[in-house]
Amino acid sequence: MEFKDYYKTLGLERTATDAEIKSAYRKLARKFHPDLNPNNKEAERRFKEINEAYQVLSDAEKRRKYDQLGADWEHGATEDEILRRYAAAGAGARAGAGSRWSTAGGMSDFFEQFFGFGASPFGAETAGARGGPFGFGGAAERPARAPDVTAEVTISLEDAVRGATRRIELAAQDECPLCGGTGMVTREQRQGKLRVIRSAQPCPHCGGAGIIPVRRALEVSIPAGVTEGTRIRLKGQGGRGVRPDLNGDLFLVVRLQPHPVFTVSGRDLRCQLPVWDYEAVLGAEVSAPTLDGKISLKIPPESQTGRVLRLRGRGLPARGGERAGDLLYELKVLAPTGLTAEERSLMEQLAHKRRARGVADPRAELMKKG
């Protein structure tokens, strides 16, 4: 009897989480999907192996038994398990060839005999009656929740301050509506209160992957006060499940367009504000930009380059318990250009008077360190 390492098939460690198993399966299923690899027998074989591994590792009870018994499962099986396993062969013979899985299904001996595919390990009761289309264990398998979807939306700084509505298009993956995300389509027959699976084949709609690619358009409201990297959760707007309550969520990541005047630091807005040297020396009242227009800003006397003037609460609005940001103006002192002869003469007089007064050389500290 052939033993297959399902963890190795999916490229996983034995400690892999349910999410890692699902992610690995979907990645490989897309890679080796027959539709993407026409006339490729090796890809077809790998696709079947990947589906087989996923059907075991994605089911908690099947995985538990697989982990417990592993490669030595035959020796580790309980007497009850062995009796049920070989009773299945008898049940399959009584049911006839129609109840067996076809060789085309590509299931390994280990998979069919240990997990009860082909003939049910519970006698007349079918795997579907016990746990979904592949059933194993004593309770019906719950449908899987559809995957979450992450997308980005880029907005202007003005929209981040005021809020906005955006129409976005998503490339998502929904659970296949034909097979309900299982990847298999079964043909069942009722015998009294029991269901007997007569055949099971890879779903023709999704090719056995259980998911289908879709594109959706949404109108999304962007609240005021979002910052770069803000994640907005839209419940139920991700992948579509077999029921609305099993839909995944959409996580929208906000990106801010670069602004020609302002930069964003947390919730604060920063602006470099040029001022003439005489405005910085004498003090002045100058016009300064905001996202809403112009304001009048007082420059204190003897201001230097790098001095920051703060307008509290004029940055990004408060959101989610965080206070509103501030609007910060960093002064950049400029030397005047295009001087007239009279202006140059006045500047020379100023320089002479300051030297005569013994004003310190602004480079003196640098010279000491050098």
pTM: 0.53
Backbone angles phi, psi at 42, to 5 degrees: -65, -40
Name 225's Cβ contacts closer than 8 Å, sequence gap at least 6.
160, 161, 163, 267, 316, 317, 318, 319, 320, 322, 324
The pLDDT assigned to 365 comes to 82
The pLDDT assigned to 245 comes to 83
The pLDDT assigned to 277 comes to 94
CATH code of domain 263-339: 2.60.260.20
Segment-wise mean pLDDT, segments of 10 residues, the chain, 370 residues: 77 90 89 84 89 88 76 43 40 36 45 47 32 38 74 92 88 78 78 69 84 84 92 86 81 94 95 96 96 94 96 93 94 94 93 90 80
Same topology for domains 6-131 and 149-256, yes or no? no
Contacts 24+ apart (CB under 8 A), 109-112: 109/1, 109/2, 110/1, 110/2, 110/3, 110/4, 110/73, 111/4, 111/52, 111/55, 111/56
CATH code of domain 149-256: 2.60.260.20
Delimit the domains of the chain by residue range.
6-131, 149-256, 263-339
**123, two tokens:** 């006698």
pLDDT, tens digit (0-9, with 9 covering 90-100), for 53-101: 898 899 888 888 787 665 444 444 443 444 344 334 333 433 333 333 3
The pLDDT assigned to 21 comes to 92
The pLDDT assigned to 130 comes to 33
Q: H helices of 154-267, where? A: 157-162
Which residues sit opposite 220 in a β-bridge?
166
The answer to whether residues 113 and 36 touch, using CB atoms and an 8 Å cutoff, is no
The pLDDT assigned to 129 comes to 32
Q: Which CATH architecture best describes the domain 6-131?
A: Orthogonal Bundle (1.10)
